Amino acid sequence: MLRYVIALTVVAITAQAQQYDLLIRGGHVIDPKNNIDAAADVAIAGGRIALVAPSIPAGQAKRSVDASGLLVTPGLIDIHAHVYAGTGMKGVLTGDSSVYPDTFSFRTGVTTMVDAGTAGWRNFADFRQRVIDRAQTRILAFVNIVGSGMSTAPESDPADMNPERSAEIARKNSDVVVGFKTAHYTGKGWPAVEGAVRAGELTHLPVMVDFGNINEERNISRLFMDKLRPGDIYTHCYSGLRDEVLSDGTLNPAMQAGRKRGILFDVGHGRGSFNWNVAVPATRAGFWPDSISTDLHTGSMNAGMKDLTETMSKILNLGAPLQKVIEMSTWNPAREIHHEELGQLSPGAIADVTVLRLEEGQFGFLDCAGARFDGTRRLRAEVTIKGGEVMWDRNGRAAQDWKGSHYAKRDSAPSK
């Protein structure tokens, strides 16, 4: 009886000592929001960050992740992706050209994907029930100002652009809608941009613009200075399709003027919107993106873009400091979409954490034209944690060795 009481006491004391559910030990923490760039451990309890500090005792946690030699960052946020899959529609982003989010997110360190206007006010309800509410990945979304979104109907029909209906959808889905999107407009005038901005004004949400064809009237100078508001987002900033860099190789002055006015600039790599002959002169002129994103879809996933860590690696090899690259992929996008509960490791914050390996070697990185840029550093996801749960573990860093596991003990028990 005494042995039984002692055993129970030991178990109780151990359980009491284990105040954390998960402990990420031995890594180098980069948390731009809190200006942390140092060796530290990260403790998680109840799906929230509990503590970031040097040398947290392993005995205080039920489970540990060995992050020795690795980077520990907030969960990565991909602010431009297309995930409205499963409709059966062929050849469009509201169908077969989108990807199922869980197939790409966690294995690349991404805990939050923001769908960039694949659905509009006509089909957003279907997108939500079909994808958003079923995904393990956290899915947020921009609503396309065009009612049918990126579907078989063109995105240049002003008759299908309804700011009031778009704003209504945003209000009904305020937990997941982060703003409004206009893309691929090829008509005259500014109805797409003006409609999206109007919806943004009605809801106090930002607009993301994939600017369409440019001409003497429609150009990025007018877009930045006359049409968009501070806090609105210009994606595909290194595409070269809208004179971001001029024919003589110099940065278009409109880019710096837009930034001074408060316009935010996003990578949005995609299949055709990132080119070295734009990114190199732009970054050498000191023009870095505010956020790094993929423009993920079936056309970009196996081409030059590949995934978010690959896109981050390109910005890193262009010369951006590692800390800034992490900021562009965590805290900056969280602020751009007004979800500051994400992208940080403050105590009490949602426990989205990414553990990254920074590889050193000789690597080749492709742009959308298939041209190679040689680099020496590459980021890869080792562990991805969403809401305190390990969702991706490349090398079993959060797992117990099989010889000491319950699995081994169960198999070693005599058969009956």
pLDDT at 10 over 60: no
User: What percentage of the chain exceeds 70 in pLDDT?
Assistant: 93
Q: How far apart are CA 28 and CA 69, in angstroms?
A: 7
Residue 3 has what pLDDT?
Answer: 45
Asked if residues 66 and 25 have their Cβ atoms less than 8 Å apart, the reply is yes
- Mean pLDDT of the chain, nearest integer: 93
Residue 18 has what pLDDT?
Answer: 85
Mean pLDDT score, 319-340: 98
Highest mean pLDDT among 10-14, 384-388, 400-404 belongs to: 384-388
Residue 404 has what pLDDT?
Answer: 77
pLDDT at 17 over 80: no
Residue 383 has what pLDDT?
Answer: 98
Mean pLDDT score, 227-243: 97
Tens of pLDDT, residue by residue over 293-312, are: 999 999 999 999 999 999 99
Structure confidence at residue 4 as a pLDDT band (50, 70, 90): very low
pTM of the full structure:
0.94
Q: How far apart are CA 355 and CA 172, in angstroms?
A: 35
Q: Which CATH homologous superfamily contains domain 75-378?
A: Metal-dependent hydrolases (3.20.20.140)
Which structure tokens are listed for 251?
């940065």
Q: Which residue has the tokens 């042995």?
A: 3
Mean pLDDT score, 232-237: 98
pLDDT at 12 over 60: no
Residue 217 has what pLDDT?
Answer: 87
Mean pLDDT score, 211-220: 87
Asked if residues 238 and 333 have their Cβ atoms less than 8 Å apart, the reply is no
Residue 103 has what pLDDT?
Answer: 97
pLDDT at 340 over 90: yes
Tens of pLDDT, residue by residue over 122-134, are: 999 999 999 999 9
Structure confidence at residue 153 as a pLDDT band (50, 70, 90): confident
**Residues forming a β-bridge with 180:** 143, 207
pLDDT at 6 over 90: no
Q: How far is CA 150 from CA 123, 210, 311, 328, in A?
A: 10, 12, 24, 26
Residue 154 has what pLDDT?
Answer: 83
Mean pLDDT score, 50-76: 97
Domain boundaries of the chain, sorted by first residue: 2-73+379-404, 75-378
Q: Which residue has the tokens 């150009």?
A: 219
Which structure tokens are listed for 410?
């169960």
Residue 16 has what pLDDT?
Answer: 52
pLDDT at 1 over 80: no
- Beta strand pairing call for 76-81 and 71-74: unpaired
2-73+379-404 has CATH 2.30.40.10 classification: yes
Q: How far apart are CA 97 and CA 299, in angstroms?
A: 7
Q: How far apart are CA 139 and CA 128, in angstroms?
A: 9
Mean pLDDT score, 276-280: 98
Tens of pLDDT, residue by residue over 78-89, are: 999 999 999 999
Q: How far apart are CA 307 and CA 320, in angstroms?
A: 18
Residue 2 has what pLDDT?
Answer: 40
Residue 5 has what pLDDT?
Answer: 36
Residue 13 has what pLDDT?
Answer: 41
Task: Identify the burial level of 89 via C-beta atoms within 10 angstroms of its C-beta, where 0-12 means exposed, 13-18 middle and 19 or more buried.
Answer: middle
